[in-house]
Structure 1
Amino acid sequence: MANTTGQKFGGRTKGAVNKTTAEIRDAFSLLVSNNLDTLDADLNSLEPLQRLKMIIELSKFVVPTLKATELTVEPNNRFEPIIFEFS
């Protein structure tokens, strides 16, 4: 019989941390921490362009990716940008 009550039965509660994911993140963090000197040496051995690409790729794991936002302006409303002037 299907659940038609709208209530959730079983599974993780909202906001609960997935134990496997947490363990993997901890293990990966430990792996990186223990190999910082090697990672630094490996990055320094790369050509500048390759090094920059690698740093950008690695930053995706540390710095949150920003979501693009969209601005919708109604035809009747006029959009006036805020201009900051620094002297």
Structure 2
Amino acid sequence: MANPFTKNDPRINRKGRPKGSPNKTVEELRSAIKHFIDDNLETLQADFDKLEPKDRLAFVERLLKHVLPPMVTSLEQLSEADLDILLNKLKNETVNV
């Protein structure tokens, strides 16, 4: 496949996507899932009601992965005591390996 750009082409975005700009693909996927759920809510509820309790929980857990961002703890948010605990755990794990 031929490269559509030539060397030093001014149309090339060398900086990439700006930091913090939304990922359109993820937003489109979330929107599609939301519309699907809105359009099929009664059928989904009836199917959900037929599930065993453990299967209901598994379904909700899988669904939330598409709606909520994953929880991430930043090292900057941890206290010195928490960092010491993590460091000790890591030291113990590497010794026991």
- Does 1:57 pair with 2:68? no
- Does 1:32 pair with 2:37? yes
Q: How does 1:1-87 map to 2 (within 5 A)?
A: 9-67=14-72, 71-73=82-84
Tell me, in whole angstroms, the C-alpha distance in 1 between the residues paired with 2:60 and 2:66. Answer: 10
Percent identity among equivalent residues? 37
Greater RCO, 1 or 2 (C-alpha within 8 Å, sep 6+): 2
TM-score, with structure 1 as normaliser: 0.55
Gaps of 5+ in 2: 1-12, 86-97
Aligned length: 67
Encode CA deviations 1:56-82: one digit per residue, 9 max, x unaligned: 2223333444336871348xxxxxxxx
Tell me, in whole angstroms, the C-alpha distance in 2 between the residues paired with 1:27 and 1:20. Answer: 10
Tell me, in whole angstroms, the C-alpha distance in 1 between the residues paired with 2:66 and 2:33. Answer: 11
TM-score, with structure 2 as normaliser: 0.50
SS at match of 2:67: coil
